[in-house]
């Protein structure tokens, strides 16, 4: 099978490592061939803290993906997250030599200047996402090539992060002689399969709540206007339950998944959940109302933080398609209602991967949105790439045309 038709997305998360093997169909559809997973160890808040343990988990997930897809994995496209990832919007300009026709050269020049900005010396730019062009002040130009003008400007959304932290994640993969074709920020990846073009134009926010961090990205008029990472995730809810209910962390996690809800109103005061005896744990009864109140408080706090950050760049009333919740924590009972109360008046949806085919248990699982999104991102880039050419210079040109990097 042609190498360019197979795309492998890898996510090294706080609670799980996931590898998706997918194939590009002749109709352009992405078809899932297999999903490999492994419980995650050595990762905290999306970043490597124990290289040996994290590497072992990566190996196990990739081996599982190879077995399930019947494909040998030699390279991957890698998802990246962490609280070190930051973003900003930047406008750059390129004066033209008199009134002349705009070519690839001028377009590449204006993007290069957009990335020639002051970021911390330890950081590296991960994505430069095109928002729009201006030709002699004319706004909303989608593709300026072939137009005449004296000045070309462009707005970009720039995402950057700490190089050494990214290198540590990449090394976990290269440890097994597997190449990393490119890296993709989690929120950028998730948006590729959670949103369609009409939603991006109308305005939408994707909030991907994982085990250690929450990634978000905001689209308006078809382009990225804001993105970020908040260092709060499902593990924080588990820790809150451990402390608030005075139970072991493993029991808190199980209780959260099996009995938890983000809704605590209208629960009888005497309704209790019995936790049975276990090794090192003598058993206990906990109030369902208190359990749900703790979950509600943490989720509401997280969503309020994100709402504030979104409004710094895009007034929320402009998000016509509303809020898309994805990631493992989006499966929490009642989270949709809590989000609706925080984002007052905006539609809220629990979202999973769209525009892909294969086992429904995979693409309908919000936990896999990022990993599938990475494979979709790879498909978009490689579909326009000359055979055998994976040069970084070509990446920037193709990604710009897809508004994905």
Structural domain contains residue 177:
yes
pLDDT at 403 over 50: no
d(CA 107, CA 301): 42
d(CA 352, CA 195): 9
Q: What is the pLDDT of residues 287-342, one digit of tens each?
A: 999 999 999 999 999 999 999 999 999 999 999 999 999 999 999 999 999 999 99
Query: According to the model, what pLDDT value does residue 361 have?
Result: 66
> Residue 389 carries which DSSP code?
-
- Considering the domain architecture, whether residues 91 and 133 belong to the same structural domain is answered as yes
* Per-residue pLDDT band at 396 (split at 50, 70, 90): very low
pLDDT of res. 304: 98
For residues 313 and 89, is the Cβ–Cβ distance under 8 A? Answer: yes
**Cα atoms found within 13 Å of the Cα of residue 248, Cβ hemisphere only:** 13
Higher-scoring residue by pLDDT: 392, 209: 209
Q: Do 125 and 241 share a structural domain?
A: no
Q: Are the beta carbons of 351 and 6 closer than 8 angstroms?
A: no
Which residue from 397, 370, 312, 404 is spatially nearest to 126, judged by alpha carbons? 404
Q: Are residues 226 and 51 in contact, defined by beta-carbon separation less than 8 angstroms?
A: no
Q: Is 80 helix (H, G, I), strand (E, B) or coil?
A: strand
Q: Which residue, among 292, 306, 133, 277, has the nearest Cα to 207 in the 3D structure?
A: 306
Decide: helix, strand or coil at residue 356. strand
The end-to-end CA distance of the chain, in Å, is: 28
- Predicted pLDDT at 270: 85
**Band of pLDDT at residue 228, cut at 50, 70 and 90:** very high
Least confident of 94-98, 112-116, 294-298: 94-98
The arithmetic mean of pLDDT across residues 29-50, rounded, is 93
What Å distances lie between residue 290 and 57, 197, 275, 334, CA to CA? 35, 42, 15, 15
Hey, which residues does 157 pair with through a beta bridge? 89, 129
Domain span including residue 50: 3-83+164-186+355-395
Q: Are residues 103 and 217 in the same domain?
A: no
Residues 220 and 314 in one domain: yes
pLDDT at 1: 39
- 247 shares its domain with 292: yes
Residue with tokens 């074709």: 181
Looking at the structure, tell me whether residues 7 and 79 fall in a common domain: yes
Judgement on whether residues 206 and 308 belong to the same structural domain of the protein: yes
pLDDT of residue 401: 39
Evaluate if residue 28 carries a pLDDT over 80: no
Question: Two tokens at 221?
Answer: 């008029």
Region 66-70 average pLDDT:
95
Whole-prediction pTM: 0.91
SS3 content of the chain, % helix, strand, coil (to 5): 40, 35, 30
Q: Are 300 and 338 in contact (CB under 8 A)?
A: yes
Q: Is residue 256 part of a domain?
A: yes
- Which of 385, 379, 373, 311 is closest to 346 using CA atoms? 311
CATH of the domain at 321: 3.30.420.40
Euclidean distance between CA atoms 307 and 325, whole angstroms: 13
**For the chain, what is the domain count?**
4
The backbone region for 70, taken as left when phi is positive above 0, alpha when psi lies in -120 to 50, beta otherwise, is: left
pLDDT band with cut points at 50, 70 and 90 for residue 259? very high
Q: Are 158 and 168 members of one domain?
A: no
CA separation for the pair 204, 323 (Å, rounded): 6
């Amino acid at each position: 099978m042609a190498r360019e038709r197979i795309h492998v997305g890898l996510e090294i998360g706080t609670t799980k490592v996931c590898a998706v093997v997918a194939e590009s169909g002749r109709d352009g559809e992405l078809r899932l061939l297999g999903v490999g997973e492994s419980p995650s160890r050595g990762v905290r808040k999306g970043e490597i803290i124990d290289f040996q343990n994290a590497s072992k988990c990566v190996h196990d997930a990739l081996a599982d993906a190879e077995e399930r897809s019947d494909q040998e994995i030699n390279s991957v496209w890698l998802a990246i997250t962490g609280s070190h990832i930051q973003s900003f919007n930047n406008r750059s300009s390129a004066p033209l030599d008199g009134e002349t026709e705009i070519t690839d050269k001028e377009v590449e020049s204006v993007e290069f200047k957009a990335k020639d900005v002051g970021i911390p010396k330890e950081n590296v730019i991960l994505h430069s996402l095109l928002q729009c062009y201006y030709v002699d002040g004319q706004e909303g130009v989608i593709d300026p090539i072939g137009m005449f003008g004296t000045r070309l400007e462009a707005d970009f959304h720039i995402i950057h992060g700490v190089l050494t932290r990214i290198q540590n994640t990449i090394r976990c993969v290269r440890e097994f002689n597997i190449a990393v074709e490119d890296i993709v920020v989690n929120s950028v990846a998730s948006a590729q399969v959670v949103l369609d073009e009409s939603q991006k134009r109308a305005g939408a926010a994707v909030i991907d709540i994982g085990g250690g961090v929450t990634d978000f990205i905001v689209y308006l008029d078809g382009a990225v206007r804001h993105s970020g990472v908040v260092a709060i995730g499902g593990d924080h809810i588990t820790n809150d339950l451990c402390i608030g209910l005075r139970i072991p962390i493993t029991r808190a996690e199980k209780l959260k998944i099996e009995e938890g809800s983000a809704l605590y109103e209208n629960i009888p005061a005497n309704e209790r959940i019995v936790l049975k005896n276990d090794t090192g744990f003598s058993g206990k009864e906990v109030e369902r109302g208190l359990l749900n109140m703790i979950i509600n408080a943490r989720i509401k706090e997280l969503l309020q933080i994100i709402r504030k950050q979104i409004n710094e760049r895009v007034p929320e009333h402009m998000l016509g398609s509303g809020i898309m919740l994805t990631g493992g924590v989006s499966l929490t009972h009642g989270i949709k209602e809590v989000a609706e109360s925080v984002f007052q008046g905006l539609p809220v949806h629990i979202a999973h991967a769209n525009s892909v085919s294969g086992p429904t248990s995979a693409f309908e699982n919000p936990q896999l949105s990022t990993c599938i999104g990475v494979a979709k991102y790879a498909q978009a880039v490689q579909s326009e790439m000359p055979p055998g050419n994976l040069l970084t210079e070509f990446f920037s040109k193709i990604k710009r045309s897809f508004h994905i990097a």
